[in-house]
Amino acid sequence: MDTSRKILRAYDGSTVTFKALRAYGWNELLNLGYFQLRDLAMLLFGLGYFQKQLVRQSIKLVAPQPGENIVDVGCGYGWTSNQIANSGAQVIGIDLLEKHIEKARQKFGHNPNVTYAVGDATQMLSSATQAALEEESLDKIHCLEAAFHFGHNGRRAFLAEAFSLLKRGGRLVLVDFMWRSNCPEEINELDGERHVRRTWQFEQFEPLADYRTIARECGFQEKQIIDWSPRVINPFQKICNIITLLGQYRIPRFFLSMIRPGVFSMNSQEWRLLAEVLEAHERVSGSTYYVAMVLEKP
């Protein structure tokens, strides 16, 4: 199966996890979200608010300026690229999936500062992208929660290409799941049934230490490494656990569906499967960091 067909399976609504997340507000974005206690009441409106908060935190690190050339890699439905373009920068959103790019163009194609292109982040300089990108042409590259899909060799290729594409002084903001220890194959034991890996279509998370080494070998200087796990993975997992627990029983499920009517589309068997899948996510997330890396080309 080719890579894009494989990745599409994570986002086409065929998994119970994605179905539940869509019911709970994953409409414009496809990331876990950034959670702060003071925003807890916003949960009544679903997860979309928190996803936008994560984008805002990530864009702060990009610090886009008017006139800059910026690529948003793994742009999903295009919300983030459009948001960066609103700063006056010229933005290209790139995603492997045609469906995502079509949706992005429909929603944000009217913004003269942003264009969208189908392309593979691991081959941005070759013809594998519809956008004609040239060496040393970009001020910044942003990649939010997409690189875990690329595989180890793909991540290395992406970092090397990002380095070539950036101008001197250019910046790469890479936000990704990273393995805490140096043994990413530990996931085989924690996710024995492959629930997590099948849901999100990836093999292993890159160990944080390896990410840093690869970035250094490509020539990048590390500017910031921020552990967002306590604001992203940990609360996301807890919230999903609570929703799934409520979804198991008829009466709480009825009340849940009053706030999120999409919840009705899941039957009892799917809720039980979701609970099993979430248990695997909980085991894996205990060994995973959610990290924002700011790298600069000297």
> Cβ closer to ligand SAM: 256 or 277?
277
Q: Can residue 31 be called a binding residue for ligand SAM (CB under 6 A)?
A: yes
Among 29, 101, 232, 256, binds ligand SAM (CB under 6 A): 29
Beta strands in 25-83 (DSSP E): 69-73
Part in contact with ligand SAM (CB under 6 A); list of ranges 140-148, 208-216, 217-225, 272-280: 140-148
DSSP string, 199-246: HHT-S-PEEHHHHHHHHHHHT-EEEEEEE-GGGTHHHHHHHHHHHHHH
Candidates 192, 194, 156, 174; CA nearest to 289 is: 174
Q: Give the number of residues in contact with ligand SAM, rule: CB under 6 A.
A: 21
Round to whole Å and give the CA distance between 163 and 157: 10
Q: Can residue 145 be called a binding residue for ligand SAM (CB under 6 A)?
A: yes
Site for ligand SAM in 60-99 (CB under 6 A): 74-76, 80, 94-97
Site for ligand SAM in 148-187 (CB under 6 A): 149-150
> Cβ closer to ligand SAM: 42 or 246?
42
> Cβ closer to ligand SAM: 92 or 146?
146
Q: Can residue 144 be called a binding residue for ligand SAM (CB under 6 A)?
A: yes
What separation in angstroms does the CA of 227 have from each of 51, 144, 294?
17, 14, 12
> Cβ closer to ligand SAM: 68 or 95?
95
| Close Cβ partners of 284 (under 8 Å, ≥ 6 residues apart) | 187, 190, 191, 196
Q: Can residue 146 be called a binding residue for ligand SAM (CB under 6 A)?
A: yes
Q: Which residues bind ligand SAM (CB under 6 A)?
A: 7, 29-31, 74-76, 80, 94-97, 100, 120-122, 144-146, 149-150
